[in-house]
Amino acid sequence: MKRIMQRQGQVEADGSPAARRQAPAKPRPQAQPEMSAPGRVVEFAREVRSELRQVAWPTRPEVVNSATVVFITLVLLVSLIFVLNYAFSHAVIFLFKS
């Protein structure tokens, strides 16, 4: 326990209580004056522009590759749903045909 208290700064190496250190006073944040509505809109636009500069935009080949994968997946799923719908509809018609 003594070692833990030493690491935390509660006791000295000889076991005597550590002298209390005052934490440095934190400066208070300055209250900014309230901005007008157009000023807030302009500030918002600046922040959006700043954030958009940090975005890792994909290259043209990456976009083409992703779009191709999405299109092929879409065609396969639509085809699968069409085939299942066709099969089930004919099965139901066959079952209820008089």
Average pLDDT per 10 consecutive residues for the chain, totaling 98 residues: 74 73 73 83 94 93 97 98 97 88
Q: Domain-by-domain residue ranges, the chain?
A: 58-98
10 vs 8: CA distance, rounded Å: 6
pLDDT at 98: 61
Torsion angles phi and psi, residue 24, rounded to 5? -60, 140
Q: Residues 23, 25, 30, CA angle at the centre, nearest 5°?
A: 150
Buried b (16+ CB within 10 A) or exposed e, 76-85: eeeeeeeeee
pLDDT at 22: 64
Q: Say what the pTM is.
A: 0.48
pLDDT at 37: 86
